[in-house]
Amino acid sequence: ETEEVIKEMTFTINKEKTLLENPVTRSLILIAMFCLISLFAWLVSKYREKKVKLQLEAFYEKQEKENLKKIAFRDYLTGLYNRNYITKWTVEGVGKGRYPITLIILDCNNLKLTNDTYGHEVGDVVLKAVADTAKKVFRASDIIGRFGGEEFIAFFSNTDLEGAKIAAEHFRQAVEEAVIIAEGQHIPVTISIGLTNMPCTKLLELTKQADIALYYSKEHGRNQVSVYSLEMEKEQKAEQ
């Protein structure tokens, strides 16, 4: 029995060996292997292609969302936050806080005169220069925005009144000393600032007080920082 099994196995091996030695058989085997390898390579390339496509779609979708968000919340000229974001932030962010907050509102002095004298393109250069100075002077944690026209607004959290006054004065000086060149000419720029500090649960009152302080700065010589006081408010009401 054992001998018969051995003989049968030997016969099978010899038969397979003969088949493998056959040029036609070997060619068919090589073609089959080539086809399998090609199919595997094609499947891998398709998988990678789909993966890259999905990654690109995800990347472009993220970029589109970021661009839309930037358009919605950033001022197109200065790159600062716009009025929409400031309003949203005050309602959703600051309004839920419990810490005191300091607010400054500032105005570019005589920007209308600059526009009338040199043109609105030069006025845009001035606004951008003021915004760039604000980005350099203020902290990354401060919320700075363009509120409209030549008016800017900034919120300082966890900052007492004296610290905010020092920061505002530093900013005012930086703007005054900035070298702003437009159309080959040096454009002198100054700003007036109104500042106030109180618990952030009274945001409307905060804005109103900063406006009163800004008005005081503009009516008393411009190019200065004024801190809100009750006397200022009484003075303005008496003038009306």
Measure Cα distances from 175 to 2, 63, 70, 94, 144 in Å. 104, 34, 26, 28, 15
From 66, 150, 219, 239, active-site residue: 150
- Concerning whether 150 is annotated as a catalytic residue, the answer is yes
Residue 135 to residue 171: CA distance in whole angstroms: 10
List CB contacts of 97: < 8 A, sequence separation 6 or more. 157, 200
Q: Six-digit token pair at 184?
A: 């080959």
**Catalytic residue numbers?**
150
